[in-house]
Amino acid sequence: MKLNELPRPENRQKPVRKRRGRGNASGVGGTSGRGHKGQKARSGGYHKVGFEGGQMPLQRRLPKVGFTNIFRKEFAIVNLDQLSVFEAGEEVSIETLLHKRILKKPLAGLKVLGNGEVKKALTIKAAKISATAQKKIEAAGGKVEVLGV
């Protein structure tokens, strides 16, 4: 048992939160714990995220770097060792991989890489395939169909 898991005794009530700005008798009247004057004492008076008191903020002092290609296509990548769940002669496509939950999202297409071994003859339909993966699939008696993306 941890300290935060200890139950409150039945005779002890939950502590009442301090109600600020309800007169001097409350103990937190007057300035209501905000101190005297200044930006932080005002209502709505505080600065933006990243504000450095008028000094040029860090995110504006640092140079802009990089480039984001808005036309980039991201491929769902599968290695040969992940294809062991398929039976011999079965077709491997992005739909069958999604159905067997090897992939979570279809993305732009399927890319097969050559990490691992293939022991069964499979028909693979993919947008891209590495040279080593293609050699291993064809050596096992399978076929490769490259789809245009």
The one-digit pLDDT tens for each residue of the chain (149 residues) are 899 999 888 888 888 888 999 999 988 999 999 999 998 899 988 888 999 989 999 999 999 999 999 999 999 999 999 998 999 989 999 999 999 999 998 899 999 999 999 988 999 999 999 999 999 999 999 999 998 76
Q: Which CATH number fits domain 76-146: 3.40.50.720, 3.30.300.30, 3.30.930.10, 3.100.10.10?
A: 3.100.10.10
- Burial-class residue 120 by CB neighbours within 10 Å (0-12, 13-18, 19+): middle
pTM for this structure?
Answer: 0.56
Residue 99 is given by DSSP the state: H
61 close to 40: Cβ distance less than 8 angstroms: no
